[in-house]
Amino acid sequence: MRRTDENGRTWDGNRLVEIPEADWARMREWRAEMLALGRSTEPTDREAARRALDASYRERGLEPPGLVFFVDSPAAGMLAVNLLQKISRDQLGDQLGDQLRGQLGDQLWGQLGDQLGDQLWGQLGDQLGGQLWGQLRGQLGDQLWGQLRGQLGDQLWGQLGDQLGDQLWGQLGDQLWGQLGDQLGDQLWG
């Protein structure tokens, strides 16, 4: 269904199909003006360009960029964009990687270390400690006690037995024989 709007443009549904000659003339003027600006070799008024850029950002509810680069040509602009993107990606990647590794790594390892460490050491300490202590006490205790009892017992009893036996029999023997001799002598001859 074709219709014509108040500016003389003809539409077929949502598609523009006919434009009045006056609009074509304005578009040709605007095209010539933009081409002249684009082909200009005059120095850029950087302050005016910055004001226009900031105003266009604010008009759209955006914060203007903090840093704006001016270059000598569109080719230099493309080169600058590519270099900045590469540098930015590399640096951002490195910086973000370092920051994420540093911050998240510290936080995660801190939390994981605390939580898992407490849990694991608690569980391992209880389970393995009980098991290991029981096994060590059982195996080593029996072995060591058996060896100590065997070796030290034999040595100690051998040495102590010899020394004490000699001393005791020496002292007691003299005393006993002396007393027995006195008592028997008194009773027999007395």
- The mean pLDDT of 112-128, rounded to a whole number, is 68
Q: What local confidence, expressed as pLDDT, does residue 4 receive?
A: 85
Q: What local confidence, expressed as pLDDT, does residue 32 receive?
A: 94
Q: What local confidence, expressed as pLDDT, does residue 30 receive?
A: 94
Residue 59: pLDDT over 90: yes
Strand intervals (E) in 116-181: none
| Kind of pairing between the strands at 15-18 and 10-12 | antiparallel
Residues 11 and 5: beta-carbon distance below 8 Å: yes
Listed ranges 4-13, 20-29, 55-64, 163-172; the one with the highest mean pLDDT: 55-64
- Angle, alpha carbons 184-185-188 (nearest 5°): 80
Residue 91: pLDDT over 90: no
**Cα–Cα distance for residue pair 65/48, rounded to 1 Å:** 15
Q: How far is CA 25 from each of CA 20, 21, 30, 31, 55, rounded to the nearest angstrom?
A: 9, 6, 9, 10, 29
Q: Give me the percent of the chain exceeding a pLDDT of 70.
A: 59
Q: What is the pLDDT of residues 63-73, one digit of tens each?
A: 999 888 888 87
**Mean pLDDT over each residue of the chain, to the nearest integer:** 77
Q: What is the pLDDT of residues 159-177, one digit of tens each?
A: 766 676 677 666 766 776 6
Interior/surface letters 88-103, b for 16+ CB within 10 angstroms, e for the rest: eeeeeeeeeeeeeeee
For residues 77 and 74, the model is more confident at 77
Q: What local confidence, expressed as pLDDT, does residue 67 receive?
A: 84
Beta carbons within 8 Å of 119's beta carbon, 6+ residues apart = none
Q: What local confidence, expressed as pLDDT, does residue 112 receive?
A: 60
